[in-house]
C-alpha cells in the first residue's frame, strides 16, 4: 500500500468512526507523499517546483473522499476562504503537518499567494491610470508584467515553458498557471533590484492582509442573522419587508 492509499484509508476510517474531521485531514496531509496525481481527468499539483506546497488543494482532494460526511459550511469555509474550523496557531499547524511540509507551505504562501496579490495590486494601479487617459492605453496584462518583471507575459511564459520542457500553446491549465506564478516569484527575486523586490513584497503582503480582512468581514455578515423585522428601503420608502 502506498503512503497515499494509507492516508486516504486512514482518513475515511476516521470519518466513519466519527472522529474530528479536521484532525483526520491534517493527519492524512502529514502522511501524504505524492507531489501530484491525475484523478478523473483532473490534474492535481500539490507541490510546485518541488518547493511550494498547496495544502488546500490536497485538502480539497481529501474532502472528496468523505462522501458528504464533513459539514458543508465548514468544508466551504476551508476550501473557498481558507478559514479553519477551529483556532490553530502556526506552531500547531506546523506540528500537525510536519516541518518539511510547513516550510513548503510558506514557500507557496509567499511564492504564489503573495505574488498573485502583487499582480492584482499592480493591475489595479494600471487600470486606475488608464481611466485618466483617453487613448494609448495598452494591454493591461502586458503593462502589469512589464512593470513587475521587465518583460511581457508572453516572453516570460515562453521562457518558463522552455526551462520546464513544456509544450508551447495559447492555453494554460490551472496547475501550470500556479507553477508559472511561483516561477515568476523566483524570477523577480533573482533578477530585479533587491530594494524594489522588498518594496513590492511589502505592498503584496499588505494587499493579502486587506483581502483576508475583507473576506472575514463578508463572512461575518453572511453568518449574522437578519433582524426579524428587517426591511429594504429605497429612496426613503420601505419597498419590502424581509421578515
Quick: pLDDT tens for 106-123.
999 999 999 999 999 999
Phi-psi region of 170 (alpha: psi -120 to 50; beta: other; left: phi over 0): alpha
pLDDT at 239: 40
| Res 240: pLDDT | 44
d(CA 126, CA 148): 12
Could you report the per-residue pLDDT of 123-150, keeping only the tens digit for each? 998 998 888 776 656 788 889 999 999 9
CB atoms within 10 A of CB 182: 22
Tell which residue, 142, 208, 197, 166, has the closest CA to residue 49: 166
SS3 110: helix
Residues 6+ apart with CB under 8 A from 188: 115, 148, 149, 197, 200
For 184-243, the pLDDT digits (tens) are 999 999 998 899 888 888 888 888 888 777 766 766 665 665 444 544 444 445 444 444
What confidence tier does 24 reach under pLDDT thresholds 50, 70, 90?
very high
- Radius of gyration over every alpha carbon of the chain, rounded to an integer in angstroms: 22
CA dist 57 and 204 (Å) reads: 22
Q: Give the pLDDT of residue 225.
A: 58
pLDDT given for residue 241 in this prediction: 42
H helical segments located in the chain: 3-17, 21-31, 55-63, 72-81, 90-97, 99-108, 114-131, 140-149, 153-164, 174-191, 194-223
- Using DSSP's 3-state secondary structure scheme, residue 46 falls into coil
pLDDT tens digits for range 144-168: 999 999 999 999 999 999 999 988 8
- DSSP character for 44? E
pLDDT of residue 221: 64
Q: What is the mean pLDDT of the segment spanning 12-21?
A: 94
Note the pLDDT of residue 203: 86
Amino acid at each position: 500500500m502506498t503512503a497515499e492509499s494509507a492516508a486516504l484509508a486512514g482518513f475515511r476510517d476516521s470519518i466513519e468512526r466519527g472522529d474530528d474531521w479536521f484532525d483526520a485531514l491534517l493527519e492524512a496531509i502529514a502522511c501524504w507523499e505524492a507531489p501530484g496525481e491525475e484523478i478523473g481527468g483532473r490534474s492535481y499539483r500539490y507541490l510546485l517546483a518541488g518547493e511550494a506546497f498547496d495544502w488546500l488543494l490536497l485538502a480539497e482532494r481529501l474532502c472528496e473522499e468523505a462522501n458528504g460526511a464533513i459539514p458543508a459550511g465548514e468544508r466551504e469555509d476551508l476550501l473557498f476562504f481558507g478559514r479553519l474550523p477551529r483556532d490553530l496557531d502556526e506552531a500547531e499547524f506546523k506540528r500537525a503537518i510536519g516541518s518539511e511540509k510547513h516550510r513548503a507551505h510558506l514557500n507557496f504562501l509567499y511564492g504564489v499567494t503573495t505574488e498573485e496579490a502583487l499582480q492584482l495590486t499592480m493591475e489595479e494601479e494600471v487600470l486606475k491610470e488608464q481611466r485618466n487617459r483617453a487613448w494609448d492605453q495598452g494591454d493591461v496584462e502586458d503593462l502589469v508584467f512589464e512593470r513587475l518583471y521587465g518583460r511581457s507575459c508572453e516572453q516570460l511564459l515562453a521562457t518558463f515553458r522552455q526551462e520546464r520542457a513544456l509544450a508551447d500553446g495559447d492555453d494554460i491549465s490551472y496547475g501550470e498557471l500556479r507553477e508559472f506564478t511561483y516561477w515568476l516569484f523566483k524570477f523577480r527575486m533573482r533578477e530585479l533590484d533587491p530594494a524594489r523586490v522588498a518594496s513590492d513584497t511589502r505592498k503584496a503582503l499588505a494587499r493579502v492582509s486587506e483581502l483576508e480582512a475583507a473576506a472575514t468581514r463578508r463572512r461575518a455578515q453572511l453568518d449574522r442573522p437578519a433582524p426579524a423585522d428587517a426591511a429594504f428601503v429605497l429612496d426613503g420608502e420601505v419597498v419590502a419587508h424581509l421578515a
